[in-house]
Structure 1
């Protein structure tokens, strides 16, 4: 299986070198990777790894604890919960998240994730992407693509681009680095991205919502999006942006129906 995945990754990367920006504009996308979560109770570990605890806000409570993960009726449930008394972890909450790091990455194409988000004070579900390799150095030089973030009980989602250009050089208006879109997040929606060599087009239920272009005359750090990225999906809690969680609102979950990647 590892040999097969390596060959697949090489083929995908070779196929990604085209600078043809018309790819997909006629709807002729080819499905290259997917997960429908149809194997009851089993997370496919050839595709996904459970995200580990980290020092960043979003990763404060990440865990591989089984109660934060559930696959049933063709859906992946990622939970945010109050830590059970018998669990010896030292944090107040536990959250579940998965990533494709070291197992699948791609460069240019289209990705869509069908998901439903529950709301809670301090809930911060996210679908996002990071560079597979440190081509340009340490974060944030390789960029970050946030396909979807949702805060608390809001009726909108955030779609954002981060990079050295936006975070360090503070170039947040040339071009605008994020937008919001109205969404009934407690219904299933399809959160997506169309990624071309010269622009990122964010979508909601197949409709474009925000475009981030590659600028011709900007600092080179404006466009680190010329390399393979991997996917992360996580049910986050708390942080400086979203605020404190209310334990009375928990548990909360993000329910993922499917993930599909096209080129």
Structure 2
């Protein structure tokens, strides 16, 4: 344990030196009177603290090689992601629970497929980082899709109510809004997949290369990562729109006006 702490302390020299770049950003913010200096310092300090803590936590989990720790870490990440996505879609009824359930469904199905196909071994060293990437992307997509669906229905409420009055089911009445929300939510993930390697080298690939892996090995892993992110994000966002819909309607298939009256 002492050796690990020593190597950690020694390895932090470079991250601390890189704070010079943050100091430059703070200085520019001050000169431009942006008022972001305090937020920049707080954000960097919080990131430093969180990453330092999670480093020791992961070191502990990896040394135990226990399946139970995988599930605990996974559930913890899903809960945090569900809360965050729900905050974005705060006007959606039960938004946090829906977001958490959707993220869990999308990422767990994708992870199960990857394990069954022997793409990744079911060990903490592989599963926890992979799950973190999937959950992070699913969190963003789910939050955007849920918020966009509610906003689109609100802006087109007369059209939706007309469709309901003409005999359409709730699902039929908001079909176009659901499609629009899914397209908007998934667009960043798909755009990233289309431009990966041409504009940026993704974090997983860059980390592997800097860690000593060959570019060809890094590419293989990155392709897997992009595939799983698209799969998990799509499943999570579609699940979230289906789970969100009942909260917008009464049992009599009428729009709940209270859901759309606040901003």
- Output the TM-score relative to the length of structure 2: 0.24
Return the index of the structure with the highest Cα Rg. Answer: 2
Which structure exhibits the higher relative contact order, with contacts defined as CA atoms closer than 8 Å and separated by 6 or more residues?
Answer: 1
Greater share of helix:
2
- Output the TM-score relative to the length of structure 1: 0.24
